């Protein structure tokens, strides 16, 4: 199998497609954000260890404030497998913060008309819907669409 393409990382997950050079059959490997993080949380080095273990390595390398200067940080790529190298690179890669859609006054007024205690949850759902639909602005049309799709 030969490496064909990679996608991501998106939202902490990435996929790698391999293709058979003879029959062109393709196989995809997909990382799952939570599973990758769980493996990492156990102190397992994806792709194997290339440097001697340091004391409190998992603790120091997993601390978000201390990880960068930790001596125990694994190399960004390790071993011969391109997949593990990419996964290790993707783990450390900073993902851009998704841009928040802008609310119009009319859409906000409709949010304010619902009970205050569920407003944050509804806002979050509407923003997530807008992002999925590629809308940079949330207006009353988007609110209607949400209502139709999510039954809100």
Partner 1 sequence: MSGKGGVGKSTVTACLADGLARLGARTGVLDADLNGPCMARMMGVKDHKPSPQNGAMIAARNAYGVPVMSMDMFLPEDETPLVWEASSQQGAYTWRSMVEMSALRELLSDTDWGDLDVLLIDLPPGAERLQNLADLLPDLTGAIVVSTASQTAMTVVSRSILMALNVADVRITGVVENMSTMICSECGCTEKMFIGAETVEELAERHGVPYLGAIPFNITLADFLETGRSYIEEHAVHPAAHAILDVAKRVHFWLNNQSK
Interaction site with partner 1 (CB under 8 A): 9, 11-12, 33-34, 36-38, 40-43, 54-67, 71, 90-91, 93, 95
Nearest approach in angstroms of CB 50 to partner 1 is 18
Residue nearer to partner 1 on the CB measure, 4 or 83: 83
Query: What tokens were used for 98?
Result: 């998704």
Cβ at position 38, least distance to partner 1 in Å: 5
- Residue 106 beta carbon to partner 1: minimum distance, rounded to whole angstroms: 30
Residue 89 corresponds to which tokens in the numbers above? 């690179």
Q: Which is nearer to partner 1, 71 or 147 (CB)?
A: 71
CA atoms of 98 and 131, how far apart (whole Å): 8
Residue 36 or 78 with smaller CB distance to partner 1 = 36
Between 89 and 141, CB nearer to partner 1: 89
Tell me if the bond preceding 9 is cis, omega within 30° of 0.
Answer: yes
Q: What is the DSSP string of 117-141?
A: GGHHHHHHHHHHHHHHTT-SEE-HH
| Strand-pair category, 13-19 with 2-10 | antiparallel
Q: What span, in angstroms and rounded, lies between the C-alpha atoms of 23 and 3?
A: 14
**Shortest Cβ 143–partner 1 spacing (Å):** 25
């Amino acid at each position: 199998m030969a490496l064909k393409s990679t996608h991501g990382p998106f939202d902490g997950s990435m996929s790698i497609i391999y293709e058979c050079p003879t029959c062109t059959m393709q196989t995809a490997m997909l990382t799952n954000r939570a599973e990758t993080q769980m493996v990492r949380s156990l102190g397992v080095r994806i792709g194997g260890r290339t440097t001697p273990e340091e004391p409190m390595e998992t603790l120091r390398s997993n601390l978000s404030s201390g990880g960068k200067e930790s001596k125990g940080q694994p190399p960004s790529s390790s071993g011969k497998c391109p997949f593990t190298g990419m996964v290790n690179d993707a783990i450390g890669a900073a993902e851009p913060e998704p841009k928040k859609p802008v609310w119009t006054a009319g859409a906000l007024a409709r949010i304010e008309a619902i009970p205050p205690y569920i407003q944050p949850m509804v806002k979050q759902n509407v923003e997530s819907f807008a992002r999925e639909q590629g809308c940079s602005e949330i207006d009353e049309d988007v609110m209607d669409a949400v209502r139709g799709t999510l039954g809100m």
